[in-house]
Chain A
Amino acid sequence: MIQPMLWGVGMSAYGLQPERRVESLCWDAVSGAVRDAGISPGDIDAIVVGSVFGPPGVATRVQRGIGIPGVPMWTVENACASGTSAYHEAVEAVLGGRFGCVLVLGVDQMSTLFSGAIVPEATDPEGASSLPLPGLYALAAQRYVQEFGVTLEQLAAIAVKNKRNGLDNPLAQLRAAAPTVADVLGSRMIAEPLTMLQCCPTSDGAGAVIVGPERGVRDDLRIEASAMVSGALWDHRSSDVWGFASVARAAERAFAQAGRTPAEIDVLEVHDAFTIGEIVTLEALGLAPRGKGAELAPSGHTARDGAQPVNPSGGLLSRGHPLGGTGTAQLAEIAWQLRGRAEARQVARHRVGLVETMGGGAAGMDGNACVVTILSTQDGTERGTP
């Protein structure tokens, strides 16, 4: 049985960078990951790229600069979960013995495509009806407000927490100042009840991860589980809000594979594209019962110094969301946290970490895909000196 390990991670800066070549963002990420893994580029025997908007051929243009010619390479698209879907394929390939060292690259450069919110896809029935992504999340938020009595202050607390965390992330897009609850609620309305500061900014960025089998390096992280699910019907029969069920499906598989319970997770990076997303996701992951996830941020449970810190990087709300680049950035943060090298962002307990990425937008489905992965230090102890 081959044990897949995370060998190294790297990230470009995240932010609006239209003046940079998209390949150049990737080269930052790949060179960082290769250095972090302590390998030679020639050791890489396969490449999996996760990207939504490419551009088509971006993987090969990246190749021109890094010189790993001829190895098997493919690009996957699973909406916001594209980067972690690429990672999942790498983990499966290592697990099955197909490859010995896989480079995962997640990238998107949104600033050259959209001036603000993502333009909905005209071939989708709901996209054609002008449902923007913040509107889709707002419909879930409104349901939580009315069904469970979630307050606007509880929603805002997610943004306050994550944006404060992001101040200490030198690679994050937004790090000017941490807003208060009043600032969040007073920012421009986007789709009721979600205000501007409750929506992640679109971004440009690339993240890379190197996955391989055990090789006797203490800093390598054990990949205890990686689960990827595609979407299922979401319709009038469902009592869950959009997205809940796809995250729950992936989480159930990942926890079973790792043989762990949600309470055993020390630190998490989850898909907070919008504040309500973190609430619904933490319920689907089992950190809180349905309708109670909104209490986790105000109570301090998910704060950086709380019992289970969530999004210590600042999350998508701070880092920015270059779709394909998000999952690999989440993996990078968990790797740094588990190794005790997250500097000002370092959490106290960091033996077991979890990454969740959920992508969606296709009408009538509970998501396009969701990936949940659980990683740990090799000997179950804290690494480094926080």
Chain B
Amino acid sequence: MNARILLIEDKAGLLDTLKSLLELHDYTVITAGNGEEGFAMAIRYLPDLVISDIYMPVINGYELLDKFREHPSLCKIPVLITSGKKEDDEITNAMQKGAAGYLVKPFVFVHLHEQIKKALKKER
């Protein structure tokens, strides 16, 4: 069965393009435009993996990581973080909050795909 990926990103252009790329690689993709919507979608669909931006309206990526860790059905789902910030404290903060990986924007899809495969392999 294809892995189900929840993609959370508030910029529609990037959300659509990444969705198309993931679907071309045979993933089933669910999308959300902010952290709150993403959290609700995660509870509803229980994806195999989440890819989330950090700086988004309503609930940001760090708060989302906290909420995932505290939720019994979501705490085992790997969350990959994508962000334009590459400072050590941002990366450390995300990893300490349980992120499965951190990808600095801009990135090429091949690097995102490597992290997806790694995180899914670990989960299984």
A and B from one complex: no
